[in-house]
Structure 1
Amino acid sequence: MLSIIFIFCLLYHTYTDMKSMLLYDKVTLLLAAAGVVRAFFEHQLLEALCGAGVLLVIMLLLYFASRGGMGEGDVKLAPVLGIWLGLEQGLLCLLLAFVSGGVVGALLLLCKRGKLKQAIPFGPFLCAAAVAAYFCGKEIITWYWRMFL
């Protein structure tokens, strides 16, 4: 049941961010509450706290370094994803989101569909990466370590 809330909240965030470049706090709070309940029942509260804390610090650093180029909704969403994913899969989520967002941004520039300073909603990339990390994260991490070690 909680996984369904996770998916629907991420789908809603994707829709609203693509439509109006907004990630609504109420949806993020619902996602956070469901994530804490899940972490509690799965005895993963410490892992959820670590994931949330590290993802929050990373996103805050990027937010201030980009001087507002990163939206506040993205900064708020990332630690919530850390609650759901934990530290390892949360870091994977950020990596996948930034790589996929960078690829799409580069393609838009190459195809002359976008401008260098044009804002691109990052929420959909975070949400898609969160789903990938949630359902396939352990396998992706195992594959990665086997490939490079």
Structure 2
Amino acid sequence: MEFSDMVLGLLFSALLVLLALLDCRYLLIYDKLVLALLVLGILPLLLGRISWEDACRGAVLGGGFLGGLRLMVPGGMGWGDIKLAVVLGSWLGLAGMAVCFYVAFISGGLYGFWVWLRRGTVKHILIPFGPFLALGAVVAFVAGSSCAGLLEAWLWNP
């Protein structure tokens, strides 16, 4: 890993940890932090870590998928999660965003199952999704160029 990638990863991770902690505490994803991630999202483009086309595809996948979930289950997903997913998609690209969602939904589902085991219900419990998106994004960022290979292995290899 190059020095520029390491610095970029530290900035990315630090903002995501802050977003995750605030979402856990207040059940809110703050627009100012998402905007900071968006502005810093120019750096991977300028450093050649991701192409403009792939950043746009990732942003469309991120916002489109979670936006579709919000339409299907009103109130189940907040707008902050959707905005965060758009910005994460611009950082990670199409394959990276797919890996991010995979990790986020698996880890979120496991946490929900653990809550259900402990309390016997998850009906009236609000579980923030931002921390799971943040975890998935960090995994996808670290996986970097191998995200496409991971995605192909999951989807097309028997």
Structure 2 gap ranges (5+): 1-6
CA contact (8 A) 2:62 2:85 kept: yes
TM-score (norm 2): 0.85
What residue number does 2:119 align with?
Answer: 112
Q: Structure 1 residue 128: deviation in Å?
A: 0.7
Task: State yes or no: 1:12 paired with 2:12.
Answer: no
User: Shift of the alpha carbon at 1:4?
Assistant: 2.5
Shift of 1:146: 4.5
Alignment length, in residue pairs? 149
What's the counterpart of residue 134 of structure 1? 141
Question: Per the alignment, do residues 44 and 141 of structure 1 end up closer, same or farther by CA in structure 2, a change over 3 Å counting?
Answer: closer
**Which range moves more in the overlay, 71-80 or 107-116?**
107-116
Letter in 2 for 1:9: L
The superposition leaves residues 75-126 of structure 1 with CA deviations (integer Å, 9 ceiling, x where unpaired) of 1000111011000011110111011101110111012175323110100000
TM-score (norm 1): 0.89
Structure 1 residues not aligned, in runs of 5+: none
Please provide the CA RMSD for this pair. Answer: 2.0
Which position in structure 2 is the counterpart of 1:2?
8
Q: 1:2 to 1:137 in 2, by over 3 A?
A: closer
The code of the aligned residue for 1:120 comes to: I
Q: What is the distance in 1 between the residues matched to 2:71 and 2:153?
A: 35
Does the aligned pair in 1 maintain the 2:99–2:151 contact within 8 Å? no
Aligned to 1:39: 45
Deviation at 1:69, TM superposition (A): 1.0
Q: In 1, are the aligned partners of 2:96 and 2:147 still within 8 Å (CA)?
A: no
